[in-house]
Amino acid sequence: MRLDKYLKVSRIIKRRTVAKEACDSGRVSINDKVAKASTDVKENDIITIQFGNRELKARIINIASHVKKDDAKEMYEILMGEEDKEE
């Protein structure tokens, strides 16, 4: 699955266009490598996102093309920055 779509489906970022812009501006990395919006994500990848001066780090647990809002948090595990996550 594409990185920008994963970020939207998992509700880490609420809109796919915002996720794409974050990826294209170099604020998102997978396994410590800067990633483009079209990069494929796999289970156990570590995603790091820069939100201004804050950072969110999460491990991909599950990849699904569509999930309900309540199940979205089961797609990833927060490793760092949970209290900083934008709701």
Can you give the pLDDT at residue 52?
86
Residue 66 belongs to domain with CATH number: 3.10.290.10
53-79 per-position pLDDT tens digit: 899 999 999 999 999 999 999 999 999
The values of phi and psi at residue 56, to 5°, are -120, 130
Mean of the per-residue pLDDT values of the chain: 90
Please compute the mean of the pLDDT values over residues 44-59 and round it to a whole number: 93
Please report where in the chains the tokens 């948090």 appear, as a residue.
73
Can you give the pLDDT at residue 45?
96
First vs last Cα of the chain: how many Å apart?
23
- Global pTM reads 0.86
Q: How many domains does the chain have?
A: 1
What is the extent of the structural domain holding 31?
3-84
pLDDT at 27 over 50: yes
